[in-house]
Amino acid sequence: MTRTKTNYSPEFTAQVVGFYKSNSAAKTAREFSIPNHHVMTLAKRVGFQKTCAQYPLSFKHEVCQYYDNHTGDETVAKFGITAPTLFDWRKTLGYRNKSRGYNLYTEGLQPGMQKRERMNFMKTRSENGDLKAELLEVKLQHAVLQREFTQLKETILEALQ
């Protein structure tokens, strides 16, 4: 069984991502007649990723920092989240994985700026993704306006002849 790689145009990608921003992946897939995973892949390519709006970013950082000095079970019980959510937040926000063998007690010996810099980097990375999505939308609008301009120009030239 051979797989063929599907390449979507930037205009189509922008339409899909734009629709996905306000709808679910399943609804977007049905609307554009593409598989669910293609919707999420296209969104990821332009740097857009849906996050859970239920928890603010400051809360996520608080949970991740609490986990640095407590067990996973204690953290999950205290904040009322699931373990996979905790580990996903740590990965997304750039915190190191406790199970990978780094010493938590030497972490405190490093300057306090390190965590703040890591948090700022993650914010910048998130903003970068949003800007990529906006740029793709602007490119799509530019292509549409350029097409309309060409049609208008042809219409004027025909009228003059």
In this prediction, residue 116 carries a pLDDT of 60
| Tally of residues, the chain | 161
In this prediction, residue 151 carries a pLDDT of 94
Q: Provide the whole-model pTM.
A: 0.35
Give the CA count within 13 Å in the CB-facing half-sphere of 152: 6
- For residue range 119-153, list pLDDT tens digits in order: 666 777 777 777 888 888 899 999 999 999 999 99
- What band does 101 get if pLDDT is binned at 50, 70 and 90? low
In this prediction, residue 2 carries a pLDDT of 59
**For residues 114 and 64, is the Cβ–Cβ distance under 8 A?**
no
Q: What is the DSSP string of 48-117?
A: -----TTS-HHHHHHHHHHHHTS-HHHHHHHHT--HHHHHHHHHHHTPPPGGG---HHHHTTS-THHHHH
> In this structure, is the dihedral angle defined by the CA atoms of residues 118, 120, 126 and 129, taken in order, positive or negative?
negative
- Higher pLDDT pick, 14 / 113: 14
- What band does 3 get if pLDDT is binned at 50, 70 and 90? low
> What average pLDDT does range 96-116 have in this prediction?
56
In this prediction, residue 152 carries a pLDDT of 93
Give me the residue label for tokens 């293609």. Answer: 38
So where are the chain's domains?
8-50+111-152, 55-104
Q: Across 19-23, 48-52, 111-115, 120-124, which has the greatest mean pLDDT? A: 19-23
Rounded Cα distance, 37 and 40, in Å:
5
